[in-house]
Amino acid sequence: SGMSKEERILDWVKQHAVVGDPQSVVDAMDVYSRQKEWSMHVGDIKGVIVDKVMEEVKPQILLELGTYCGYSAVRMAHLLPPGGHLFTIEFNESFATIAQQVIEVAGLRDKISILKGPSQEIIPQLKKKYEINSVDMVFLDHWKSRYLPDTKLLEENGIIRKGTVLLADNVICPGAPDFLEYVRNSKRYECTTYPVENIRVNDALEKAVFLG
């Protein structure tokens, strides 16, 4: 019994963030991860790369695979252009419940929809059930073994279109070698790697633009 790590993170956010201020939620989660318990958020160093891609793409419809506690959902939704919306898929019910409350503190409930369930089941439902035609950007940050199969599902279901930007976290650590090999060798993607050396681990984000 006792609080889960994710409940402790939510508690910290409630105590240290300013309601309705997404930046203060992001900052509180970064402080908690650095000073209390490391957590698998994309974090402040890689977060700058995510911000830069958000500013480049200015997605109206953004899909995230892997919500966790909602750190990247809040960080990205804060940067959405007017009218933009983020759909984020989370398999783990308890994570989704925490994330919904974090998003509430940030005041971003109208910009973010958490879709609970396995990505492989939800992706084929996006068009009919969630009235999504195609997405402008996808942030992959869930199980590394799902990056490649879910990318293929996004292609097969027509969820990504010419110019859609895939941005994948952790392509080095924990690593998604099959996904990397696929997008880098496929003529249908234009890839850019953003390496990140920091204190704990070396990692990289991969940007793969779908060419249709």
Residues in binding contact with ligand 7JD, number by CB under 6 A: 9
141 binds ligand 7JD (CB under 6 A): yes
Largest CA distance in the chain: 51
Residue type, 139: F
Residue position matching structure tokens 């953003």: 194
What is the C-alpha separation between 41 and 47, in angstroms, rounded?
9
The stretches of the chain forming alpha helices (DSSP H) are 5-16, 22-35, 43-57, 71-77, 93-106, 119-122, 126-130, 147-156, 177-185
**Binding flag, residue 40, ligand 7JD (CB under 6 A):** yes
Instruction: Based on the shown chain and the rule CB under 6 A, indicate whether residue 48 belongs to the binding site for ligand 7JD.
Output: no
Q: Which two tokens stand for residue 180?
A: 């990397």
Q: Which is nearer to ligand 7JD, 38 or 162 (CB)?
A: 38
Q: Is 44 a catalytic residue?
A: no
Q: How near is the Cβ of 42 to ligand 7JD at its closest, in Å?
A: 6
> Applying CB under 5 A, which part among 56-64, 100-108, 166-174, 187-195 lies near Mg ion?
166-174
- Strand (E) or helix (H) holding 167: strand 160-168
Please select the residue that binds ligand 7JD; options are 174, 177, 195, 212, rule is CB under 6 A: 174
The CA distance from 74 to 69, in Å, is 10
Select 19 or 173, whichever has its Cβ closest to ligand 7JD. 173
Instruction: Tell me which of 201, 202, 211, 212 binds ligand 7JD, using CB under 6 A.
Output: 201
| DSSP character string of 130-164 | H----EEEEEE-S-GGGHHHHHHHHHHTT-EEEEE
Q: Which of 144, 150, 203, 206 is catalytic?
A: 144
169 is a site residue for Mg ion (CB under 5 A): yes
Among the listed residues 30, 136, 141, 206, the single contact to Mg ion using CB under 5 A: 141
202 catalytic, yes or no? no
Distance of alpha carbon 203 from alpha carbon 68, whole angstroms: 19
Among candidate residues 30, 141, 150, 203, the one labeled active-site is 141
45: contact with ligand 7JD by CB under 6 A: no
Contact 192, 171 (CB under 8 A): no
- Binding residues (CB under 5 A) for Mg ion: these are 141, 169-170
Which residues are known to be catalytic? Answer: 141, 144, 169-170, 197
- Binding residues (CB under 6 A) for ligand 7JD: these are 40, 66, 141-142, 169-170, 173-174, 201
